[in-house]
C-alpha cells in the first residue's frame, strides 16, 4: 500500500462534530453513487444528534494526519438490543460508525482502525469486539470477515436494515500506524 500515514488517535471533542458529520455525509454519497443501500440522507438530523451524543459521552475517536481529521470510529458498551442480547451473548465492546475520508481510502486505514479497536476492547477487558452491518451490504460483510471477524448470525427486524452480526476476539494488537494521543482538552 502506498502513502500509508501514521494516524494520531484521540477522543473527539465538541469542535470535531461537524467534521464527523462531514465524513458520514461523504460516505453516504459514495455508497449511493455505487448503488449500495446503506446510510441515507433521511438520517441527517437524527444522525447529527447521535454523533453529538457519542462525542459528549466520550465514545467517539478521531484519527488525524497532520492535524486533519481523516477518520473516526465510535466504541461503546451499549449493544443494539435488536441484534445483541447481553445476557446471552455476554459482554463486549461495540464498534459503530467507522468512517474514513474517501481521499484516504484504500490505504489500509480502516483495517488499522479495526485492529486498534480490537486492541482497545482487550485493554478494557472485553472478550469481544462486536458490530452489526446492513444485511444487504455483502461487500462490507466480506470486509469484516477479511479483518478477522466471524459471522455470528443475521437477525431480521421489521423496519431495520442492519442485522448481520459479527464479532472478533479481543486480543492485544500492535498497530504501528496509529499513535494514541488520548484526550485533547476541549477548545
Reported as a single tens digit per residue, the pLDDT across 85-129 is 999 999 999 999 999 999 998 888 999 999 999 999 999 999 999
**pLDDT tens digits for 3-42?**
788 999 999 999 999 999 999 888 888 877 877 666 665 5
CB 76 within 8 A of CB 61: no
Percent residues over pLDDT 90 in the chain: 69
Alpha helical stretches, state H, the chain: 17-33, 44-56, 86-89, 109-123, 138-146
pLDDT at 25: 86
pLDDT at residue 119, rounded to an integer? 96
Indicate the pLDDT class of residue 185, thresholds 50, 70 and 90: very low
Q: What is the pLDDT of residue 40?
A: 60
Of the given ranges (35-39, 51-55, 61-65, 82-86), which has the lowest mean pLDDT?
35-39
The C-alpha angle 24, 92, 15, rounded to 5 degrees, equals: 35
* pTM as predicted: 0.91
| DSSP class of 77 | S
Residue 186 binned pLDDT confidence (cut-offs 50, 70, 90) = very low
pLDDT above 50 (res 1)? no
Summarised one tens digit per residue, pLDDT across range 154-176 is 999 998 888 999 999 999 999 99
Q: Are 112 and 178 a contacting pair, CB within 8 Å?
A: yes
Amino acid at each position: 500500500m502506498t502513502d500509508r500515514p501514521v494516524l494520531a488517535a484521540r477522543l473527539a471533542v465538541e469542535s470535531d462534530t461537524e467534521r464527523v458529520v462531514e465524513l458520514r455525509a461523504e460516505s453516504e454519497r459514495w455508497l449511493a453513487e455505487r448503488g449500495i443501500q446503506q446510510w441515507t440522507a433521511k438520517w441527517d438530523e437524527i444522525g447529527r444528534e447521535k454523533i453529538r451524543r457519542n462525542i459528549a459521552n466520550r465514545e467517539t475517536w478521531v484519527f488525524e494526519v497532520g492535524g486533519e481529521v481523516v477518520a473516526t470510529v465510535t466504541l461503546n458498551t451499549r449493544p443494539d438490543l435488536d441484534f445483541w442480547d447481553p445476557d446471552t451473548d455476554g459482554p463486549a465492546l461495540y464498534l459503530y460508525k467507522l468512517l474514513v475520508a474517501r481521499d484516504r481510502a484504500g490505504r489500509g486505514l480502516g483495517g488499522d482502525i479495526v485492529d486498534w479497536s480490537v486492541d482497545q476492547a482487550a485493554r478494557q477487558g472485553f472478550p469481544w469486539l462486536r458490530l452489526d452491518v446492513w444485511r444487504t451490504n455483502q461487500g462490507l460483510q466480506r470486509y469484516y470477515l477479511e479483518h478477522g471477524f466471524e459471522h455470528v448470525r443475521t437477525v431480521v427486524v421489521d423496519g431495520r436494515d442492519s442485522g448481520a452480526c459479527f464479532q472478533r476476539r479481543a486480543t492485544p494488537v500492535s498497530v504501528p500506524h496509529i499513535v494514541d494521543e488520548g484526550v485533547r482538552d476541549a477548545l
